[in-house]
Structure 1
Amino acid sequence: MIKIVEAADRDTNVEYIDQMHRMRAEVFADRLGWDVTVNNGREADRFDDEDPAYLLAIDDRTGTLNGAVRLLPTTGPNMLRDVFSVLVPDGAPESPLIWESSRFAIKPAINKAAHVDANFVVNRMTVELLCGIVEVCRSAGIAQVVSVFDARMARIFRAVGCPFTPIGRPTRIGSVMTYAGIFDMTDELRAKLGRAGGFNGRVIP
């Protein structure tokens, strides 16, 4: 199940938000070694102060957090424009119909395969979150989502049938090649993702 937590819902979801920041520290600092700020075991940045919408993947049986992603409008502060501008020398997309996804994270202990080919396995929670992004965008009238990702995520997108249009100029940041891409939020995309992950019904109640 995907739970949407917006600014107005923050006070009633304190425990889930805390779990999310702890998970992000585990994923981005401990596992991936990114240069992120961690305080008291929790990762957060200035974009968490911009009233984003969080999509949280919640285990239906235990109620625990399995994954999360952050959504921000491109008309305000966002990571592509304000942190990764080197990727888009001609400027980042900015429109009320385009949101940015960032801090996409899956709890490292989760290991549920959704899509397998000869060499590749994708975590099922990854596909559930992608389905959730499409569903919330379709409901809100958002046409596209822009995101910054590395080659590993690009391969995941391709494996589960989540096409993107590269924008700007891929650049090595730190030790990884980093890309910016834009995704069309369509019913066709949601259907493809549903088939890849076995999510026939809505993942957002």
Structure 2
Amino acid sequence: MMQLITPDLYGEFASELKEMHGLRYRVFKERLDWEVQTEDEIETDAFDGFKPVYLLFKGSDWRIRGCVRLLPSTGPTMLRDTFPVLLGADVVPSTADIWESSRFALDLPPSAPKAAGGLAQATYELFAGMIEFGLANDLTRIVTVTDTRMERILRLATWPLSRIGQPMPVGKTEAVAGFLEISHASLLRIRSRGRLRGPVLWQPVLAPSA
């Protein structure tokens, strides 16, 4: 089950957000060994302070098993402020119809259901949630900084990344920036590949206040 948490709901869902930051610690620090900011088995960074929207995936046990963070490209973003080297000769996107995704993470048990391409069904649910949010808020694209491993997953899911520049080594990973299409066609592909029925978001889709 997917849950949408907008800034006006942070207080109501404080425990879920804390659990999400713990998941991010396990994935980005313990599993991937990225150079991230941590404290007391919690991972946060400066972009969590800019009132992002969070999409959370809850497993059948109601624990937070996945997450992704979304920020408008008109404000501070990781691509603009942390990884501009990945842009090459391109200009940083900064329009109301493009948001940035970051901190996509899943921490699933071995028994988690699988779908097409051998990917976890939860992967497709998070992708579908991102597209549903985008459609509800009149977005045309999502821009993201990710690694080549995640780029392969997106291609398997038939939601391919349109590269902005070439991959470059960043810390212990090969990073790449690119765009993801927000459209009804891309949502239909994700639903079909992930064997999803109907919308996945169950919190009302509310755009964050300016």
> TM > 0.5 between the two?
yes
Report if the CA contact (8 A) 1:102-1:148 is conserved: yes
Shift of 1:87: 0.3
Q: Segments of 4+ in structure 1 off by > 4 A?
A: none
Matched AA of 1:30: E
* Count, aligned residues: 200
Report if the CA contact (8 A) 2:141-2:182 is conserved: yes
CA–CA distance in 1 between the matches of 2:21 and 2:108? 14
Deviations 1:69-107 (A, max 9, x none): 000001000101111111013332111110000000001
CA–CA distance in 2 between the matches of 1:173 and 1:108? 26
Asked whether 1:87 is paired with 2:79, we answer no
Deviations 1:5-28 (A, max 9, x none): 011000000110011000000000
Matched AA of 2:184: D
Asked whether 1:114 is paired with 2:111, we answer no
Matched AA of 1:128: E
CA–CA distance in 2 between the matches of 1:186 and 1:123? 22
Report if the CA contact (8 A) 1:27-1:108 is conserved: no
Structure 2: which 5+ runs fail to align?
203-210
CA–CA distance in 2 between the matches of 1:104 and 1:194? 19
Shift of 1:149: 1.2
Report if the CA contact (8 A) 2:71-2:100 is conserved: yes
Name 1:180's counterpart in structure 2: 177
Name 1:51's counterpart in structure 2: 51
DSSP 3-state at the match of 1:147: strand
CA–CA distance in 2 between the matches of 1:148 and 1:89? 13
Name 2:37's counterpart in structure 1: 37
More strand by share: 1
Shift of 1:170: 1.9
Tell me which of 188, 201, 205 is aligned to 1:204. Answer: 201
Bigger mean CA offset, 132-141 vs 102-111: 102-111
CA–CA distance in 2 between the matches of 1:16 and 1:125? 17
Name 1:101's counterpart in structure 2: 101
Shift of 1:141: 0.6
CA RMSD, aligned part only?
Answer: 1.2
Matched AA of 1:76: G
Asked whether 1:159 is paired with 2:160, we answer no
CA–CA distance in 1 between the matches of 2:105 and 2:46? 18
CA–CA distance in 2 between the matches of 1:68 and 1:54? 7
Shift of 1:165: 1.2
Report if the CA contact (8 A) 2:57-2:67 is conserved: yes
Tell me which of 170, 186, 191 is aligned to 1:194. Answer: 191
Structure 1: which 5+ runs fail to align?
none
Report if the CA contact (8 A) 2:35-2:171 is conserved: no
Name 1:3's counterpart in structure 2: 3
Name 1:73's counterpart in structure 2: 72
DSSP 3-state at the match of 2:164: strand
**Bigger relative contact order, structure 1 or 2 (CA pairs below 8 A, ≥6 apart):** 2
Name 2:207's counterpart in structure 1: none
Name 1:143's counterpart in structure 2: 140
Q: How does 1:12-27 map to 2 (within 5 A)?
A: 12-27=12-27
CA–CA distance in 1 between the matches of 2:46 and 2:3? 22
DSSP 3-state at the match of 1:56: strand
